[in-house]
Amino acid sequence: MKRVKLLLAALLMIVCGVNAQEELSSDSFGVYQNGIVESVSAQEKLSSDSTQLFFDDNGELTRIKVLPEDVPNTIISPNPRKDDIVWQKTVLRVIDMREQQNRPLYYPCEDITASTEKNLYSIIMSNVLEGKLPAYKSEIVFDQTYCPSFTPDNLLDVEKFLDNTNARYNAGEDTWSRVNYFNKGTVKYYVKIVYYFDKSTSTFHDKILAIAPLYDEKYGKREDLHTGVFFWVPFDKLRPFLKEEFVKMNNRNTIAQVSFDEFLNRSYYESYIIHDYDITSKDIDKGLTDPRMIRQEQQRVENEILDFEQDLWTN
C-alpha cells in the first residue's frame, strides 16, 4: 500500500512539473494554437505588472516619477496640539549650493524642460510662474532675511516680478526659458525651521516652514557673491511638487534616489544658521565683523538645539 501511495505522489509531482514548464514556456516563447504561434512576451507581462521599467519606449533611462494623484497619499505632516508643545525654537538656515553635500539640489542647472530631470530651483520657479504655487514678498520690509507673513497683501505679483528681473524681455515667453534664465545663478536658499518638543508623544521634531531661493546678482563675474531673495514660498504648499521629482544621492551610483521632499525633510543637506527668532529676532552676524565671532554665535544657537534634544534622554 505504501508503494502505491509513493507512486501516486511521484506521478502527481511529475504532472505538476510538466504544467509549470508549459506555463513557463508559454510566457517566454509563445503558445501554439490553431497552427498560429501567439507570442506572449514575458517582458509585456512585466510591463503591465510593474509600475516602471528601467528603460522607456525610446530606450532611454526611465525617470523616476510619482503621479500627481498619488502624491497626497505619500505626504505625512504631523500637526500636534499647541498645548502639547512645551519647547520650541525657530531659526533661519542657509543652504549653500557650493557645498558638496548640497550639489544634488543644484544639478542639473541648464536646459531644463518639463520632461527632463529638475533641480530644486526649477521645481519652485516653474510652479510659481505657472500660478500653481503661491509666493510671497514684502513690499514694506526689505531686509533680506525677513520672511513675510503669508497673507494676500504679500502675495507676489508674478507679472511685476518678470518685469523687475528683466526675465520677460531677456528669457523668452515660455516658462522653461524663464526658469533657465536664472538657473545657474541661484546659489543659496533660506530655510525657516522650527524645532519643538511634543510632550504628548515625548518626541522631538523639526519642521520646515518656508523656503526662499537666493540669486547671485553678480553671477559669472569675478566679484564677491552678492545675493538677493526672489520670494518666499510656504513649504507645505511646495511639498506636493517636491514629491514628484527625485534627487540622485550618490555620485558613484545614481540608482540611489530619494524625492526632493525626503531630502529636505530628513536634513540630508549641509547648512548654517543665519538668523535666530528669539526675543530680539536678529541676524547672527548683526554687530559682528570678525568671522570667528560669527561662527561662535552660530555654534551657540546650534548648541541650544542640540543640548535640549540630548538633555531629554540624559536627565
- Residue pLDDT, tens place only, 236-252: 999 999 998 988 877 66
How do residues 245-272 score in pLDDT, each as one tens digit? 988 877 666 666 789 999 999 999 999 9
Residue 26 has pLDDT above 90, yes or no: no
* pLDDT of the residue at 253: 62
The three-class DSSP label of residue 82 is helix
Closest CA to 244 of 261, 257, 256: 261
Domain ranges of the chain: 83-314
Assign 274 a pLDDT band (cuts: 50, 70, 90): very high
| Residue 72 pLDDT level (bands cut at 50, 70, 90) | low
Say whether pLDDT at 228 is over 90: no
Query: How many angstroms separate the CA atoms of 95 and 219, rounded?
Result: 17
- How far is the C-alpha of 212 from the C-alpha of 192, rounded, in Å? 9
Residue 7, pLDDT > 90, answer no
Backbone φ and ψ of 248, nearest 5°: -80, 120
pLDDT of residue 39: 41
pLDDT at 221 over 70: no
Highest mean pLDDT among 52-56, 106-110, 119-123: 119-123
| Mean pLDDT, residues 220-224 taken together | 53
Cα(14)–Cα(120) distance, rounded to whole angstroms? 59
Q: Which segment, 24-33, 35-44, 200-209, 274-283, is predicted with the most confidence on average?
A: 200-209
Measured between alpha carbons, how far is 10 from 205 in angstroms, rounded to an integer? 61
Position 315 pLDDT exceeds 90: no
Cell numbers found for residue 303 = 548648541
> With b meaning 16 or more CB within 10 Å and e meaning fewer, what string describes 121-141?
bbbbbbbbbeeebbbbbeeee
Check if the beta carbon of residue 147 is closer than 8 Å to that of residue 92: yes
Query: What is residue 75's predicted lDDT score, i.e. its pLDDT?
Result: 72
